[in-house]
């Protein structure tokens, strides 16, 4: 199964007047993530389902992702993806969706980086920049330490290079 871990794009800074759950994407964040999602589509990302945290910045990122991937499946707002998301919750969401062949999870740090590190057995973590997209190959049941990194992408271009999907 392919898993896509996506950190929300750049959002407005925290402030006393805007609750954390209402922080929205900046113009820069939207533009940058559109490019990242387009490159992910070219690399062959085609999730059957997109799960997103209910926080506004994640929902907006998931909407851009669905649009750029020309996603025809569901975009599921899952409270489990709120800050505090863990591997157990990821497994439960996958099981509840019938263990799809490909699934995307749009959420927050340090949760997604921690999950990526656990799945790949990377000591010291796997921190994700805002808007980062990580593609993993995992066995059914998503066991710790058994996932393979396929590719990553972020707005700094510091990640692994994306392969081109085969032409159809």
Specify the pLDDT at position 78: 98
CATH number of 2-10+23-78+88-131: 3.50.50.60, 3.30.300.30, 3.30.930.10, 3.40.50.1240? 3.40.50.1240
Q: Are 24 and 146 in contact, with CB atoms under 8 Å apart?
A: no
| Average pLDDT of the chain, as a whole number | 91
- CB count within 10 Å of CB 96 equals 13
Write down the pTM of the prediction: 0.91
Of 40-54, 59-73, 151-165, the range with the lowest mean pLDDT is: 151-165
pLDDT in tens, 66-120: 999 999 988 999 999 999 999 999 999 999 999 999 999 999 999 999 999 999 9
**Of 65, 60, 54, 50, the residue nearest 103 (C-alpha):** 50
């Amino acid at each position: 199964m392919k898993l896509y871990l996506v950190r929300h794009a750049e959002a407005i800074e925290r402030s006393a007047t805007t609750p954390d759950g209402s922080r929205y994407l900046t113009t820069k964040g939207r533009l940058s993530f559109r490019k990242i999602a387009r490159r992910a589509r070219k690399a062959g990302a085609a999730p059957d389902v997109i799960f997103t945290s209910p926080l506004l910045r994640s929902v907006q990122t998931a909407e851009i992702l669905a649009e750029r991937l020309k996603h025809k499946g569901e975009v599921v707002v899952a409270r489990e993806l709120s800050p505090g998301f863990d591997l157990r919750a990821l497994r439960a969401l996958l099981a509840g969706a019938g263990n799809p062949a490909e699934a995307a999870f749009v959420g927050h740090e340090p949760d997604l980086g921690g999950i990526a590190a656990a799945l790949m057995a990377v000591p010291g973590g796997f921190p994700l920049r805002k808007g980062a997209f990580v593609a993993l190959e995992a066995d059914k049941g998503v066991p710790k330490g058994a996932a393979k990194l396929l590719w990553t992408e972020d707005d700094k271009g510091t990640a692994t290079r994306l392969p081109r999907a085969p032409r159809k």
